[in-house]
């Protein structure tokens, strides 16, 4: 069991609770954290701080895997409670989530930065009053002029998207392991990938 004063890395996957959201684009954070848990024999089953959590060791370090159960727009409530309870510094908070602003299958790792268009990240930054924490963004690349954004992120994956997204999730989990073992910069150097770009969906310079 992780004690309050222990040094711990908190890894938060963002998503929406409930079976109907399980395999949607907006739940890629949940999906990635569940795969990480599976690799390391961690059960994400305890209910604490408005979240499902699991405790264990990754690369010899104490890790707390978190799936907020507040729905996406209020994810920050759960994250703030956990950060305060365990006394975690922002540098030891990793957040994993889907990102419409980068191409499908891309993986972008950053040490800090703005929330972009992601409401879960907006909630976390608002609650913590701090944006100086690492984040792992998995691209879902919404096309301009397509379905409304809310409909797009809450939809499933097309056959064409499945392979690049699966590959990006696997790489994301690898990157989290690298970051825990060797630091976020090592993960950025080794695992950042751009995915496929097009004139309609070309990545803009990152602000973080």
The model's confidence at residue 125, banded by pLDDT at 50, 70 and 90, is: very high
Q: Region 183-207: what's the mean pLDDT?
A: 65
Contacts with 132 (C-beta within 8 Å, 6 or more apart), sequence order: 90, 91, 111, 112
Identify the H or E element spanning 119: helix 119-128
pLDDT value at residue 165 = 95
User: pLDDT value at position 141?
Assistant: 87
Q: In terms of Cα–Cα distance, which of 144, 161, 151 is closest to 105?
A: 161
Say yes or no to pLDDT of 5 above 80.
Answer: no
pTM over 0.85: yes
Instruction: Inform me whether the pLDDT recorded for 46 exceeds 90.
Output: yes
Share of the chain above pLDDT 70, in %: 88
Q: What is the pLDDT of residue 145?
A: 57
Whole-number Å distance between alpha carbons of 184 and 190: 10
- pLDDT of 208 reads 35
- What is the arithmetic mean of pLDDT over 4-21? 87
- Is the pLDDT at 174 greater than 70? The verdict is yes
Asked if pLDDT for residue 6 goes beyond 70, the answer is no
- Domain spans in the chain, listed from the N-terminal domain onward: 9-191
Whole-angstrom distance, CA of residue 44 vs CA of residue 66: 7
Lowest mean pLDDT among 21-25, 30-34, 74-78: 21-25
Residue of 3, 26, 40, 118 marked active site: 26
Of the listed ranges 4-18, 39-53, 57-71, 83-97, the one predicted with least confidence: 4-18
Domain 9-191 in CATH 3.30.470.10? The answer is: no
The mean of the pLDDT values for the chain is: 89
Residue 148: pLDDT above 90?
no
* 51 phi-psi bin (left φ>0, alpha ψ -120 to 50, beta other): beta
Residue 117's pLDDT is: 87
**Structure token digits, residue 96:** 């994993």
Of 93-97, 99-103, 117-121, the range with the highest mean pLDDT is: 93-97
Q: Is the dihedral of CA 31, 127, 205, 144 positive or negative?
A: positive
Catalytic, 49? Answer no
């Amino acid at each position: 069991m992780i004690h309050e004063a222990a040094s711990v890395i908190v890894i938060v996957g963002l998503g929406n609770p409930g079976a109907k959201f399980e395999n949607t684009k907006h739940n890629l954070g949940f999906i990635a954290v569940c795969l990480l848990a599976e690799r390391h024999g961690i059960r994400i089953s305890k209910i604490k701080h408005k979240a499902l959590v699991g405790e264990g060791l990754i690369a010899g370090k104490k890790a707390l895997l978190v799936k907020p159960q507040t729905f996406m727009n209020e994810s920050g409530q759960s994250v703030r409670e956990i950060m305060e309870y365990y006394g975690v510094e922002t540098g030891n908070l990793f957040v994993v989530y889907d990102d419409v602003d980068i191409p499908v299958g891309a993986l972008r790792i950053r040490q800090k930065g703005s929330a972009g268009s992601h409401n879960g990240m907006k909630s976390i930054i608002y609650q913590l009053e701090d944006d100086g924490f690492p984040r792992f963004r998995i691209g879902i690349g919404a096309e301009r002029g397509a379905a409304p954004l809310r409909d797009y992120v809450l939809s499933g994956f097309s056959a064409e998207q499945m392979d690049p997204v699966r590959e990006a999730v696997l790489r994301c989990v690898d990157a989290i392991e690298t970051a825990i073992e060797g630091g976020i910069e090592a993960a950025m150097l080794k695992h950042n990938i751009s995915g496929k770009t097009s004139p309609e969906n070309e990545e803009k310079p990152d602000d973080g």
